[in-house]
Each structure stands twice: as structure tokens, then as C-alpha cells.
Amino acid sequence: MNQTVRPQILASACPHDCPSTCALEVEVFGNNTIGRVRGAEDNAYTAGVICAKVARYAERVHHPDRLRQPLRRTGGKASGQFAPISWDDALDLVAEHFVRAEQAHGPKAIWPYLYAGTMGYVMRDGIHRLRHAKRYSGFFSTICVNPAWTGFIAGTGLLAGADPREMAKSDLVVIWGTNAVNTQVNVMTHATHARKERGAKIVAVDVYMNGTMRQADLPVLIRPGTDGALACAVMHCLFRDGKADWDYLERYTDAPRELAEHLRPRDPQWASRITGAPVETIEAFARLVGDNKRAYFRLGYGFSRSRNGAFNMHAASCIAAVTGAWRLEGGGAFHNNGGIFHLDTSLIEGTDMRDPSIRMLDQSRIGAILTGDEDALRGGPPVAAMLIQNTNPVAVAPDQETVKRGFAREDLFVCVHEQFMTDTAKVADVVLPATMFVEHDDFYTAGGSQYILLGPKLIEPPGECRSNHEVICALAKRLGAEHPGFAMTPRQLIDATLQKSGWGTLAELESKRWIDCQPDFATAHYLNGFAYPDGKFRFKPDWAEVPFRRWHRKHAVPSIPKLPDHWDVIEEADDEHPFRLATSPARGFLNSSFTETPTSRAREQRPTVMIHPDDAAALDVADGDEVMLGNRRGKVRLHATLFDGVRRGVLIAESLWPNSAYADGRGINTLTGADPVAPSGGAAFHDNKVWLRKPANSVQQART
């Protein structure tokens, strides 16, 4: 009777929106239960280390609040009243509304909407197959990657860089604009390995003294949106001090002499005035880069979430080209490996049916789109019906008040396929229960490393949960959409996609667990030339022609400075809004996922904003006081945390809490703007000017 039940240990991959895409080992008990989740020791990037929130994934899978049956709204739009409904009735209802919307306005009135709740190709991207087959409006994905990817590719011509495992062989690891301790623990694994084994130094650049900054040998604390100035001053010092590799520059870069001349006045004093970082810190940073040619620049997403974010990403990526760090193992720059996988996803996405004349609607501008903004609708019909999978725009999209107004429209039909009753599910007409990654088959590529990984189905889903693929295929049948992909199982889609892409078969992937797609050293380090036709790294990119989503480029290209600089288009503080606010990621959450798990909630406690003690004192705000943040987009009520690890005038609100966690039901994205980041779009989540006040009716709890 006291026999211990031994679990099977089965291989999987983390499906979440995190660059690490860890290789996992999952304890499985029988057909329905998982236990602990661990990182695979023998995966060279995961190296046995994963974050705490995924280690306790059983909390999510077996959470009592999981959606388990389809629901239909029975009350008003914001009533939150739902009643159970059968799967057949739910899918019939969705199909009926889609047909009705099409009859009234044409197929473009239907907007399938998705994002990165799972990064699996089959479950994330199958929704595109439905929209191509039915000629529905396209989804232009902008929230996360556009500024960062455009900025990195502007220099190299390709989204790829030095092997991330080489960080362990560096003499200097620069972690720029990413709080790896919170968002991708594996970067710290490899960086600290270099420190232990080789005495390497770690530099971190960020806008607050977060976990990563605290672990750095040299933390460089700057104001949000000033990374371009810092990069310029570092390069100024490298040229000034004879640390530029002129042989490399002449051979591999486009305009080195023009750059050196341009940087002459952009010295540490100049940058210090803009960034707030002391001159000595900037000089120390430049000295470390100059004295350690084997320097690895790990450039994150965070600092690109600014109105000058793409431009700043490019500026930071230029430093490795000035020193010629790319020549050495453990040297160079890296942001993401999206350019190495060359997957043919046509069966999954139905791209063979794509009509490029059909409008693409900008994900970040969902508020403007749903409230009928003509520019956002690109001259087409209103959006009358939506299917939403893998995302929670009512909480995560910018300009939240407008988003909420859009979802409140009585003439908008919304179906949300979800795991929990999110802020978006609450305002849906039909809610469908979705599987989690251990309950379906899928495969993944790792943006932060070089693997293709398999995540097979390990257990049966609870209740009536169905996978995204099942829902898409069932709707396709009802709507008369045709494509071979609708008749295939997820495993067949994975197998065919791997084979079409030249990566072998599903059986091979299953036996190996992952495929290492790392290009050879010379390719990864661009020693045969960068990915532009002339093989040169671009200090002076033609922003209109950067080879990434060129077809959609229109935002402010003409005004982007030609060479790296401080491009002053950020939402600067002013008399009315004396603070700059960044909405950085909390350690316990991942976007709006994990906000439902008890240990994550216990760790994060409640929505807070970090404020410098001197700023707080000037406003008579004490630690723990309730405060109001506001700007022209709206107001948010949360609690102040006094923290001297921010520059004066800067506020940090780690998130992303559900809207219901805030006293007034208004989430942090009430304050963020949806105006597109140049040149390819994207949301400037860390670039907001706000005021801070104590609310007139607040109950101050922390003063004792």
C-alpha cells in the first residue's frame, strides 16, 4: 500500500515565449498527470537548468480554474456570465457568425488573431491556414519582434549570430537590454560559466538594477530609450583609444571612416547627459570592450521596445564590428537565430494559398482596428468577427482603454480558445477550452539557441479541452475551407514540414529529441562576409531596404538618422508627465501566462511600481502606498515600492498582471501607446511618459 509510484521521465520542450526554448524532462504518472519538470542535462544549451515557473508546471496543467468545457456568453458583453455548451453547438455558432460577417462585409471582416501563448508551429500557426483558405484579413505580427529583428538585421543582413553556447568561451559577456535572470535563465548559465572557468567579466546594460544587473561585474544603469547614445560613446572610446580593428573594418564593414568621424563628438560626457550613466562607468565599459576582443554581445528584446528601439538595437550591434570581435570564438553579437532554420511551413500555414493583395492588420493596433480607425483598417471593412488563439490582447496589447472599447462593441463576435478565463476570454461570445503543451504534439525552434525540438503529447487533456489544430480543422470543415493541411494530424504535419525543410523525419527527431542546426563557425561569425550582397556589415543601413518584412515598411524611414546616434523620438518626460515608465517582465510571469499559478502570484504579490526614494519623498509617497499613474491614454492604480536601483525620473512596473488585479480593473497597458515603432511597426512598451500621484481616496496601508 505504501509503494511509491514511479513516474516515467519523458522528453518535451518548453512552448513558452522565451528565447531559451528549453529541452525538458517531464515526470509523467499514468495517462493524465505530470509531476516535476526538469531541464535536460544533455542538451548543450539548456544544460539542465530551467526557470522555476516551468519546473512547477504541474500547477498550471492541473489547476482547478482551467477551462474544461465550451462556454457561451449569456449576459451582456462585460457581464462575465457564461453557460456550458456542446462542442458541436459552439463550433456551429462560430461558423454561423463568420458566415454572417462575410455576407455582410466580405471575408476581410473576419480577423483571426494569435500570438505566442505557444511557440509550437502546428498549434500557433495553423490559424493562418484557415485565414488564407478563406481570404480573411491577415495578422501582421508586430508586438514583440519587429523593432528588435529589424534593428539587428539592419547591420548583419540576417537574423543570426555567433553560437550562444560560445558565451561560455568569452572573456567578456555583455548582456544588453534583457533581464536574463527573469526571462531566459540559460544566458546566465553560460555567462557565469565563462566567469568561473576563464575569469570573464559580465557587463549588463539596463534601465533598473534587476537580477541580471546585480549579478554583473559592471552594471550600466541608463534611462529608457538612450541605448543608442551609450553605444555611440563606447564606439567613440574604441576609436579614440586605438581599439578599433581597422583591418577588420576595412574588409567587413560599409562606412568605418564615416562612422569614426561621426562619433568624434559623441563622447562619454555627451552620452552621460543623455543616458544618466556616469562618465566613469561609460569609460569602464569601453575599456572592458577594448581590452577583451573576445567579447560576446547578447542583445535582448527589452531595449527595442522604445520608439527608437530598432535604431538602438542596430547601434548596440555595431560595437562588435568596430572591435572585430566576430573574428574570435566567444566573440561577436547575437540576438536571435530565426535566420538559420529555413523551415518550409506551407502545409501548416497554407502559404501556398496566400493572396498578397489581402490586407494585413497590425496586431499592436487592435484597439484602433476594433474601434473603426480608417487608417488602422487600411481602408477596408470593419472587423466583425474574430477567432483568438494563444493570446490575451485585452491585457497584453497597448492602448488598453481603446482595446476594451473595441471589444465592447455589440456588433463584434469574438471566439476565444484558451486555457484559462483571461481578460480577453471574459469579453468573448464563445470560449473554447484549449490543451496545454504536454497534451498535444508540436515542434519548436529556439530563438535563443540553435535547436529544433519536439514536444510530443504526453498525457490526455482534462475535461473537453481540444487542441488549436482540432479547432482550426473543425471550423475549416464547417466553413468549406480546403487545404491538405486540414486533413493531416499534427504528427503528419511535423513529419512533412521537417522533410520539406531538409531536417529529416519526425521519427529521427523523436529518437534524437532535438536537432542541432548550428551553422559552421565561419558562417555564424560572418567570416565569409555578412548577409548583404557585398558582404559588408552596415553601419549605415538603408532602413527602407533592411531585409525583413520590407513589404510593410512605411513608418518614419526618412527621418531615421543615417549612422548610430541618440534618435530623440522617445516619449520624453515633460512638466505634466515628469516620469518615464518601463513595463518590464516579472520573474514569476511570462507575458500574461502563469498569472494564475499560486506560486507565481505569491512571489509577485500585487501590481507595484518601483520609484526612486528621492522622487517618492518629493511626492510624499511612502513604501507600499497606493499611487495612481496616468497619461493621456488613461490611469492605473497600484502600489509604490521604493527602490534606489532606478534613475530618478524613471519608474518600473514589472508585469504582466491581469487587469482584475488592479483596483480599478485597468491594467498597466492602459498607459502604453500603440503608435508604430519605426520602421516596421511594433509597440513601445517601455517608452511612456506618465505622472504619479497619490489617489484622493487611497487607503494607505504601509505607514506604521
Q: Which residues in this chain contact ligand SF4 in the complex, by CB under 6 A?
A: 14, 16, 18, 20-22, 50-51, 54, 184-185, 590
| CA 484/CA 473 separation, integer angstroms | 11
Helix 279-291 with 268-275: angle, nearest 10 deg: 120
Q: Output 300 or 634, the one with its CB closest to ligand SF4.
A: 300
| CA 302/CA 224 separation, integer angstroms | 10
Structural Rg of the chain based on CA atoms:
25
Q: Output 55 or 99, the one with its CB closest to ligand SF4.
A: 55
Least Å from the CB of residue 101 to ligand SF4:
36
Q: Find the DSSP H helices in 420-467.
A: 423-426
Q: Output 16 or 124, the one with its CB closest to ligand SF4.
A: 16
Q: Output 443 or 486, the one with its CB closest to ligand SF4.
A: 443
Q: Output 24 or 569, the one with its CB closest to ligand SF4.
A: 24
| CA 371/CA 604 separation, integer angstroms | 33
Least Å from the CB of residue 599 to ligand SF4:
14
**DSSP label at 585?**
B
Least Å from the CB of residue 453 to ligand SF4:
10
DSSP letters, 99-128, are HHHHHHH-GGGEEEEE-TT---HHHHHHHH
| CA 14/CA 445 separation, integer angstroms | 10
Determine how many CB atoms are found less than 10 A away from the CB of residue 516.
14
Least Å from the CB of residue 593 to ligand SF4:
9
Look at residues 445, 336, 416, 391 and name the one whose alpha carbon lies nearest to residue 139: 391
Give residue for cell 541618440: 566
Q: Output 20 or 450, the one with its CB closest to ligand SF4.
A: 20
Least Å from the CB of residue 4 to ligand SF4:
26
| CA 256/CA 235 separation, integer angstroms | 11
Least Å from the CB of residue 184 to ligand SF4:
6
Is the distance from CB of 581 to CB of 688 less than 8 angstroms? yes
Environment class of residue 380 by beta-carbon count within 10 Å: exposed (0-12), middle (13-18) or buried (19+)?
middle
Least Å from the CB of residue 292 to ligand SF4:
27
DSSP letters, 509-566, are HHHHSEEE-PPPHHHHTTTT--SSTT--B-SS--GGG-SSSGGG--SSGGGS-SSS--
| CA 676/CA 146 separation, integer angstroms | 10
Determine how many CB atoms are found less than 10 A away from the CB of residue 33.
15
Q: What single-letter amino acid sits at 128? A: H
Q: Output 51 or 387, the one with its CB closest to ligand SF4.
A: 51
Q: Output 183 or 363, the one with its CB closest to ligand SF4.
A: 183
Least Å from the CB of residue 109 to ligand SF4:
36
Least Å from the CB of residue 185 to ligand SF4:
5
Least Å from the CB of residue 590 to ligand SF4:
6
Dihedral of alpha carbons 19, 21, 27, 30, sign:
positive
Edge-to-edge order in the sheet of strand 332-334:
218-221, 201-206, 172-176, 295-299, 332-334
Q: Output 14 or 636, the one with its CB closest to ligand SF4.
A: 14
Q: Output 271 or 438, the one with its CB closest to ligand SF4.
A: 438
DSSP letters, 269-330, are HHHHHHH---HHHHHHHHHHHHH-SSEEEEE-SGGGSSTTHHHHHHHHHTHHHHHTGGGSTT
Question: What are the φ/ψ torsions at residue 69 (nearest 5 degrees)?
Answer: -150, 155
Buried residues in 554-572 as b, exposed as e (16+ CB within 10 A): ebeeeebbebbbbbebbbe
Look at residues 590, 545, 582 and name the one whose alpha carbon lies nearest to residue 18: 590
Q: Output 141 or 593, the one with its CB closest to ligand SF4.
A: 593
Q: Output 18 or 333, the one with its CB closest to ligand SF4.
A: 18
Q: Output 137 or 390, the one with its CB closest to ligand SF4.
A: 390
Least Å from the CB of residue 19 to ligand SF4:
7
| CA 454/CA 581 separation, integer angstroms | 39
Question: What are the φ/ψ torsions at residue 363 (nearest 5 degrees)?
Answer: -50, -45
Distances (CA, A) of 460 to 124, 181, 432: 20, 33, 17
Determine how many CB atoms are found less than 10 A away from the CB of residue 576.
11
Q: Output 118 or 272, the one with its CB closest to ligand SF4.
A: 118
Least Å from the CB of residue 300 to ligand SF4:
13
Least Å from the CB of residue 434 to ligand SF4:
18
Least Å from the CB of residue 588 to ligand SF4:
11
Least Å from the CB of residue 35 to ligand SF4:
16
Least Å from the CB of residue 591 to ligand SF4:
11
Helix 309-317 with 227-240: angle, nearest 10 deg: 20
Q: Output 601 or 635, the one with its CB closest to ligand SF4.
A: 601
Dihedral of alpha carbons 88, 94, 98, 99, sign:
positive
Q: Output 26 or 94, the one with its CB closest to ligand SF4.
A: 26
Q: Output 54 or 415, the one with its CB closest to ligand SF4.
A: 54
Least Å from the CB of residue 275 to ligand SF4:
29
DSSP letters, 199-210, are --EEEEEESS--
- Report the run of H or E that residue 473 belongs to, with start and end: helix 468-479
